[in-house]
Structure 1
Amino acid sequence: MLIDKIKILCHQFSGEIIADRHYLHRHPELSFHEQGTADYIKKRLTQMNIPWQTSAGNGVIGTITGNKPSSIAVALRADIDALPINEENNVPYKSENEGIMHACGHDVHTASLLGVARIAQALKDDFGGQIKLIFQPAEEKYPGGAKAMVEEGLLNHPGLVAVIGQHTMPELEAGKVGLKPGRYMASNDELYITIKGRGGHGAQPHLNIDPVVIAGHVIIALQQIVSRMANPAMPTVLSIGKLTAAGSTNIIPEEVYLEGTLRTLDETWRKEVHAHINKIVKGISESMGATSDVKIQGFPGVENNEDLTAQVFQYAIEYLGKENVSTLNIWMAGEDFGEFSRLADSCYYRLGVGNTARGINSSLHTPTFDVDEQNVFNMSSGLMAYIALRRLANK
C-alpha cells in the first residue's frame, strides 16, 4: 500500500531530515537575505537529481515528475526565512547567527519539504503528474516572497490542482495536525501614520499645533472602527503598537509617528477599513490644524478551499488516524500564503510540534521555541507526501 511505502521511507529518511533541520536552525537568515539557505536547498535537490530553478530572489522551486502519464500538478510550499530574535535554547543546534533565530518553525517546514522530495523521488513509479516544491523566501516581511513568486508565474501551470502548506503549532502535540475549511487566517496589514503639527515650548501650547494630543484622538477614534463600524460577527483587530514623539518634558514635537496592525477575515471589509482609517486620520488631523500621511501595506487572508480541505482532512485521517486530526478555529495571525490561496485551490494546515510532558511548548516567535523532533519528523514529510500523491491520483 502507498501509506506503508511512504511510512517506511519517512522512517528511513528521518535522520537526514533532522540533520537538515539542525543545519538550517544553526544558520538562520532574515527575510530577503536567505542566500545561504537557498544554496543549501539547491545543493540537497541537486544531490537528489531533482531539477530546480530560482524565483523571487532567494526562492527555489524544485520539480518532481512522476513516471505515470498525467498532466496535473500539486504545489507544496515551505517558507525559509527566520526572525530577528536571539535564541535562548541550550541545544547542540542552537543558532550561530547572533540575534537571528528560526522561532517560527520555518526550518521545520523546509526540512520537511526536503524530506517530501526524498520520498517522492523514490516513488516516481507510483504516481503521475508533477510535484512542485516551493521553497519561499521572505514570509515574515512585507512585501513577502509569495506575491513575487506568483508574479513570476509560479501558479501558471495549466494542470495545477492544489497548493498545500503546513505550519508548526506548538499548542498541538507532535504527531497531530489541525485543519479548518474556508476562512482560516486573517489578512495582515501594517499601518504607518505620521501626524505633522507645529512644535514649540510646552508652556506655550497656544502657539503650537500639538501632534501628541492629535495622535491621542486618532488612536481612540481608530478603535471605534472595531467597536462601532465592524459587524460583530466579523473578527477585526486594529492595534497601535508604536508611538514615537521626539519631544521632551517641555518640548512639543513637530510630528508624531504611529505604527500598528489591522487584521480581519473579509477582503471587502478590509478595503472598507482602509478607507475608514484614511478618513479618520485625515479628518481629525486637519480639524486640529495638522497634516497627516497614512501608509497601509500587507497580505490578504488565507482561505482554505472547502473541497480540497475536506480531501486533505480525509488523507490525514488515513495516514495518522482519526484521533490525530482535529478541526481548528480561525487564527488571527497573518501569512502571505494568502497570495496563493486567493488564486488557486489551496489548503494550509497546522503541524503539531509540542510535547507538554517534555516542556516543549513555547509559543511561536519566542526565544525558546523548539519542536519535538522525533515525533514531528517521523510523520511531517510522510503526511505531506501522502497528501500530494493522493491528490495527484484523484483526477
Structure 2
Amino acid sequence: MKNFLDLNAEIEKLYKPKIQIFNNFKNIMFYDTWANEIYHKVNYFYDWEERIKDKIDNISDPDSPTNIKFIKVFHQDVLQKYNDLNKIDYESLDYLKSFPQFPLEFSDTSNPNKIKNSEFYYSPDNHDQYENFLKKIARIFNIDDFDFQDDNYSYDSIKDVLLDEIIYKLHDTEEIIIDEKDDDDLKKDEILFDKKNEDEIDTLMAIGEELHKKMFGEEPGIEVPKREEIVFKLKNKEEELEIDRYYSYGFLSYCLDSTRTLLKNIAKHLDSFVSLIKKLENYKEDEFTLDDILINDPTDLKLEYKLSKMEVALFYRALHDVGIIHVNNQGQKHPYTNLKSYIDNSNIYYLDKAKVSKVNDITRQFARFLNDNKYEQHELKLLELIISKLKNRKEQILANHEEGLA
C-alpha cells in the first residue's frame, strides 16, 4: 500500500504544485526551490519523470489483481488531471500572479536565492532554451511584435531591449532624447510625458515642430542630428527591484509548462501498460483515452491527408522518385525501406471511408503497387488531381498580381 500512496502523492504534486511568491525577494519558489534555479538545472524534470516511471514499473505486476486494479484507476486519474491542466494558460500574467504572496524575509544565511532572476545569459550551449525563454516572456507580457531575429543585437542585448518593452508596456512611461553631439548651440532636450495625456502629446508635437524648423529651416548652419533614440525607464528607483519579478513569472511559467509535459509523459507511460492489460482481458474502453485528451494539447499536432492510404503511399513514392524529397537509404537493400519507416513513424493520418485514421504498416501499400501495374492508373489520377490543384493555385496568384493584390 505504501508504494501506491507514494505514487499517488507524486501525481498530486504535478497536479497541484506548491508555489510561493516572495515579495521581498521578487522571486518564486517551486517546491522549496527557486524557480529560476530550476530553469538552470537541465535534468530537474527529466529526473523527476524517471523517478515516477520507476515507481509505476515497481507496482505493475500483471499477476496481481490488486495492482492491476490500481493501475487502471490510477491511469484514469492521471488522464483526468492531464485533461484539466490542458485547459490552463500558463502564459497568462493574471494566472501567474494568482498564487499566494509571501512577504517573508530571509536572513543572509537562511535560504537566499543564489541567482537573481535577471541574471541569466546566453551561451552557445543553451541557444534554444534561452531564445524560447525570451519568447515566453514576450508572450506573457503580450509583446507580439518583438523581433528575435535582429542581427544587430546579441542575445543578451535582446534580453535588455525586451525588458525595456515590458517596462514601457506596464508603466506607460516614455522618455524621448534628441542628442546633438556635434552642435554646441543645441542642448539635449528631455521630455517626459504620459502617453495617455493628450495635452502633453500636443505639447510634445509643437516642440518637435519648432526643433525641426530650427535644425532644418531657419538656421542653415546647423547639422542634421546624428541620432534620435527612444529609451524607456522606470518611474523611480524602487521599481528597479521589480525587474526580477518580471522575469520570475517567466521562470514560473517554464516550471508549470514542464510539469504539464511531465504529466503527459506519465500518461503515455501508463497508457502503454493499460493497453497491454486490455489486450490480455479484452478490457472495455473507459470514458477517457489519451487520444481524447491530446485533442486539447496545442503541442500535439497531426497531419491529415484527404487521400486514401494507397494514395498517401503513391504520393510519397512520387515525391521521392522525382527528387523533391530524399530519405537516406544507405545500407538498405530496397529503395523505399527508410521512406516507409518514416511514414509509419510520423503523425500522419488519411481518410478511411470518411473516417480519419493514422497511417501505419504502409509497407503493404508499397508492396501492392510495386508488384501490380494496375496501380499506375491510381497514381495517374492522383498526379492529375495534384497538378490541377497546383495549376488553380498558380492562376490565383497570377490573377492577384494583375489586380495589384500581391
Q: Please identify the structure whose Cα radius of gyration is greater.
A: 2
Q: TM-score by structure 1 length? A: 0.22
Higher helix share: 2
Q: TM-score by structure 2 length? A: 0.21
Higher strand share: 1
Q: Which has the higher contact order (CA 8 A, sep 6+)?
A: 1
